[in-house]
Structure 1
């Protein structure tokens, strides 16, 4: 009986040890699970915080993406506008370049035209100098002829006076014959009423003017108008623009005058 009691005691002790070991293991496991649960809960809280932070960052990123998309759209619109402006500026630049080239061409033409006009002007000046030289010669010839005419008139008067003195019979008919000089003066008075008469010396069709053989000493002044005749047929009118002593330069009052007027045509001053 004693041995059985000892055996039972040993068994009981073993069972108690096993039970305590199992209980300790269970308690350890429970504590471990609690710790794990706490860790999991903390991890869950961290994950929840991280998720909230991530969602917030994601929301910010989405908003930023939206803003960037708006900016991108605005940039695209600005790029389109800038491209259109650039194309317009290119077009304007091309037009300006074409305009500048055309202006250069026009400038070259104007320079060439100026050179041509200068040549024509120099030729006209040379023609005018030649005309003035010719006019001086004509004036000299005119003065010589006037002197000869006066001399002939004086001789004629002397001859007529000689005839009148020698003639023994001086009757009324003779007196009438003696009054002939007064009759011969009348055409001069009529021409004086009509104005100064002369002729065309030089015609310059390029610059639309003529030179006539009457000037300041004949009473001609700037602005005077002359009628031009070809064989007593009226061609048109001219207007004095420049006056010298014995000649004057006059411009055409009508455009077709330069095709009608010629050297030697008669000019008659219009009486104002």
Structure 2
């Protein structure tokens, strides 16, 4: 009887244990199903995310290739810009060297121009002084010609009033001089020789140009270094001019 109870207890315990294990197994099975469903859902989401990541990766890879291509272009452009910069720097150096050379030449030319300008100013000043001297000489010459004309006129009047005074005289030979000026109105000349050269009043000289006889002149008045002579009109063979030679 004891054994029967024991067996009953054992069976009961076994049934209880089996029931408990069954419940545990069912619970665990349900947990596994829920875990599997959750895992499947997560796996599905992960797969979808993986597909999206693949698409994003493809896009990223494509964009990366585009960026690489743009980067290569930018590098090529940067290299070209660098080459252009080097060439520009070289040209700038050449231009700077040429500019320095041009500046040096310009300074040299400026110095030469300043020197020429100073020389020109000196020559202009000298020319102005020479012009003033020439003007003064011309005035003196005109005044001298007027004075000579008056003296000659008075002398002619004196000769006409006293014909005996106009006598022929002899002069030493070898006298040589030049005609300084000619007065066409009164037909007389001024000579660059005078008393100290042997000229005397009423003495006669012949006028030549390049050894060609032009006519005779007759001394009417003398100074130490100059003289005035009338042109002997009936002896003329040519037109007497300043610079012609006179001799006897």
Q: Which of 130, 137, 140 does residue 150 from structure 2 map onto?
A: 140
- The question of 1:59 aligning with 2:69 is answered yes
5+ unaligned residues in a row in structure 2: which ranges? 1-7, 169-175, 199-204, 211-224, 240-248
Alpha carbons of structure 1 residues 218 and 119: separation in structure 2 relative to 1, 3 Å: same
- The question of 1:78 aligning with 2:88 is answered yes
Q: Which of 92, 102, 108 does residue 112 from structure 2 map onto?
A: 102
Deviation at residue 56 of structure 1 after TM alignment: 0.8
- The question of 1:271 aligning with 2:238 is answered yes
TM-score by length of 2: 0.56
Deviations 1:119-158 (A, max 9, x none): 12212222232233333333333334434444454689xx
TM-score by length of 1: 0.52
Partners of 1:155 and 1:5 lie apart in 2 by 203
Count of residues paired in the alignment: 188
Deviation at residue 53 of structure 1 after TM alignment: 1.0
Partners of 1:18 and 1:142 lie apart in 2 by 170
5+ unaligned residues in a row in structure 1: which ranges? 157-183, 185-197, 202-210, 221-227, 238-261
Partners of 1:155 and 1:14 lie apart in 2 by 189
Deviations 1:84-120 (A, max 9, x none): 3354345434434443443343223222211221112
* Structure 1 vs Structure 2 CA RMSD: 4.2
More helix by share: 1
Determine helix, strand or coil for the equivalent of 1:217. coil
Alpha carbons of structure 1 residues 11 and 114: separation in structure 2 relative to 1, 3 Å: closer
Which protein has the larger Cα radius of gyration, Structure 1 or Structure 2? 2
Deviations 1:50-77 (A, max 9, x none): 2221221221132133223323422442
Alpha carbons of structure 1 residues 235 and 43: separation in structure 2 relative to 1, 3 Å: farther
Deviations 1:204-252 (A, max 9, x none): xxxxxxx32x2213669xxxxxxx9x999x9976xxxxxxxxxxxxxxx
Alpha carbons of structure 1 residues 235 and 86: separation in structure 2 relative to 1, 3 Å: farther
